[in-house]
Amino acid sequence: MKLWRQITGVLSAFIDGVAACLVAVVDFVAAPATVRLVEGADGNFTLETGGKRPPRELRVTIADGTATCSPGAAPRIKGRRVELALQPNRFFFRPLELPRRAGEFIQGVIQAQIDRITPWAASEAVFGWGAPVDVAEDRISVMIAAAARAQIMPIVQALGAIGGKSVSVTTTLPDATLVNVFDQSAGGSERLRGARRALTAGLASAILLAALAVGADLVIGGQLRAQQAAVAQRIAGQRGLLRAGADAKTNSALARLERRKNETAANVIVLEALSKALPDRTYVTELRIEDNKVQIIGITDDAPSLIRLIEKSPHFSRATFFAPTTRSSSDPGDRFHIEAQIKPVFSPPS
């Protein structure tokens, strides 16, 4: 639970920061026109536009948190930024001496010192300060102007009620320097809440869509993956059947006969090759062809030369005598017995 609270706290702070940035960007891009309300000695406010008073005096009276406007004043305030110049008698002024190096982070120092130099805590006051003034070699002095927040906020809220888009509060320091003590959108809280609601709704929608996408992936994606696996299994089965059929065809007796026919030379080709290889005065009396081997028996004038002539043929190889060569008085030459390997003429079809 503690971890969950920490996570929600960080997320809430992040959303608040983004909402504030969005409101600030919108205010910067669509900066409204400015009007100025100057408080008089009688406590009433005189309206100025563009630093000048209008042709006729427009006045605003604020009492008990309610603004009462002279004719024509309210339309000039509605939708515009109001610079509210208050009388110095509403503020508490106090000089603050600081080391010179404190000028680099003077805002934080003054905010930390407000409860010491004024009657209010920093959260209970509106305050501003003038430019630092050198008072010694290593020290500076800053004039602080502060007032109770409870005194200023009813005026700001009254101006927001009649249409002021934003309000900044200024006053005059004893040295006649103008200082800003408060700057806030009169309707800023409501716009900030609206932006926060929109961001929260958008984030919730994104989380919901992400959850739906994950759920769809788990359910629908699982089904699709199961179907894909089944299809892949069926394809593998069909490929196995095709391979088995091809192997069966290759190993069948018909395939073996066809392969033997293609790998074994025809007898007529063997006879033609022998007739070309043997010389004219060589006579074949016997011819035997078995598988890839041929045996020839005959009579010739020069039996040893037949081995070389037969091996020169592209159709035969490894020609040898398988019986002794003899010669009789009745034969016109030597009787030879030669066998050779027959080379396949055709390669099997692919």
**Tens digits of residue pLDDT in 151-203:** 989 988 888 888 888 888 999 999 888 999 998 754 455 566 777 788 888 88
State phi, psi for 162 to the nearest 5 degrees.
Answer: -95, 10
Residue 249's H or E segment, with its range, is helix 222-251
CA 256, 258, 263, 269 torsion-angle sign: positive
Residue 29 makes CB contacts below 8 A (sequence gap 6+) with: none
What pLDDT score was predicted for residue 350? 43
Residue 235: pLDDT band with limits 50, 70, 90: very high
Domains (ranges, CATH) in the chain? 32-186 (3.30.420), 263-342 (3.30.1360)
Map residue 185 onto helix, strand or coil: coil
Residue 70 is which amino acid? Answer: S
206 pLDDT higher than 90: no
Asked whether 269 and 315 are in contact (CB, 8 A), the reply is yes
Backbone angles phi, psi at 131, to 5 degrees: -70, 140
> Cα(154)–Cα(134) distance, rounded to whole angstroms?
37
Q: Is-contact 160 186, C-beta < 8 A?
A: yes
How much is the average pLDDT of 204-212? 87
Quickly count: other Cβ atoms within 10 Å of residue 170's Cβ: 18
* Cβ neighbours around 90 below 10 Å, total: 17
First to last CA, the chain: 74
What whole-number distance in Å separates Cα of residue 100 and Cα of residue 140? 6
Are the C-beta atoms of residues 145 and 91 closer than 8 Å to each other? yes
pLDDT score, position 170? 93
Better-scored residue on pLDDT, 266 or 157: 157
For 70-97, write each residue's pLDDT tens digit: 888 888 888 888 888 999 999 999 998 8
Residue 242 has pLDDT above 70, yes or no: yes
Give the predicted TM-score (pTM) of the model. 0.47
Reported as a pLDDT band with limits 50, 70 and 90, residue 253 is: low
